[in-house]
Amino acid sequence: MILPVTPLSPPIVIAHRGASGLRPEHTLAAYDLAIEQGADFIEPDLVPTKDDVLVARHENYIDETTDVAAHPEFADRRTTRTIDGQTMTGWFVEDFTLAELKTLRAKERLPDLRPANTAFDGQFEIPTLAEIIALAKRRSTETGRTIGIYPETKHPTYFAQIGHPTDLLLVAALREAGWDSDRAPVFIQSFEVANLKRLHGLTKVRLIQLLAGRGGPADGAAPSYAQMITPAGLRAVTAYAYGIGPDKAMLWNGTTPTTLVRDAHALGLRLHPWTYRAENQFLPDRFRNGTDPAAQGDVAAEIAAGLRLGIDGFFTDYPATGVAARAAARAKPSE
């Protein structure tokens, strides 16, 4: 039995790329559905266009999430790039102006796992950060709830090296929205370290250090993510960040909790683990339903287990499930 632990902050539900289990990710439709389902924050991954407009894509590589390959006028934009040590061939956001990107349409990134989402292929544009902020503000007014945004700066070192200062663009957009305090409905997240330290000097918005189960920051600012979750590593994070966003697997050693929640909370760091998805492929064995990777297991139970550890929020592709799991945990605080 896992004894319930009180989080440092009331747990928030973060819609990972919107309600991306039900609509193509990083579209206004996915974000709007997430808000309708009760999400507290919507999460745009941000990459810059050729003319320095921040747009929402999981990666600057857009072959998997748009219909760019069906546009013969952009055939000559296909190229090979090395990004954070990984070489890829395809089409990249930074080679398109915003006007050109707006001629593309989004498509489902995981059609084998989420075939129902392909019914929406070709319907939605690539949204800008400004459009996402406007949606959050409009829906806050309409719902009477404060809808926040949780942007991630993707590959900030790579983009800085090719002349696109994404951190500065993000801070400018947030200031224009009136969001430049630790009370703003915003968290900024990054898997890198140096850009979060730079952002710490540029804005008062709360910062979240993302952590993966393997490897280390692409900017080389720390030897590994494993080192960063040691007590000394976490203490270093407190100098610039409000909390951490670990891979949800980092909360567990098999079915036994690790000390990560306890260690982070001891230093005042909040924890927002990622990403709770319903499909078997993304679930630990104990929460799966059969062997079909696309079948949906008991992600609500997985979220509930995390909440009992005392997490302060969580990313999910299924916000309605997350909201329901949080409500159930509040109604039944002990076992």
Closest C-alpha to 313, from 2, 9, 3: 9
Measured CA distances, 54 to 8, 44, 92, 151, 159 (Å)? 32, 10, 13, 11, 12
Residue 19: exposure state from Cβ atoms within 10 A (0-12, 13-18, ≥19): buried
Beta carbons of 310 and 6 less than 8 angstroms apart: yes
Closest C-alpha to 167, from 149, 194, 148: 194
Copy the structure tokens of residue 251. 């909360």
Residue 166: CB atoms within 10 Å: 23
**Residue of 58, 155, 265, 272 marked active site:** 58
Q: Which helix (H) or strand (E) holds 327?
A: helix 319-331
Q: How is the beta sheet containing 12-16 ordered, strand by strand? A: 148-149, 41-43, 12-16, 313-316
Exposure string of 130-152, with b = 16+ CB inside 10 Å and e = fewer, is ebbbebbbebeeeeeeebbbbbb
156: Cβ–Cβ under 8 A, 6 or more apart, which residues? 166, 167, 190, 192, 195, 219
| Amino acid in the structure at residue 137 | K
Q: Determine whether 265 is an active site residue.
A: no
Q: Determine whether 58 is an active site residue.
A: yes
Whole-number Å distance between alpha carbons of 85 and 66 = 24
Active site residue ranges: 16, 58
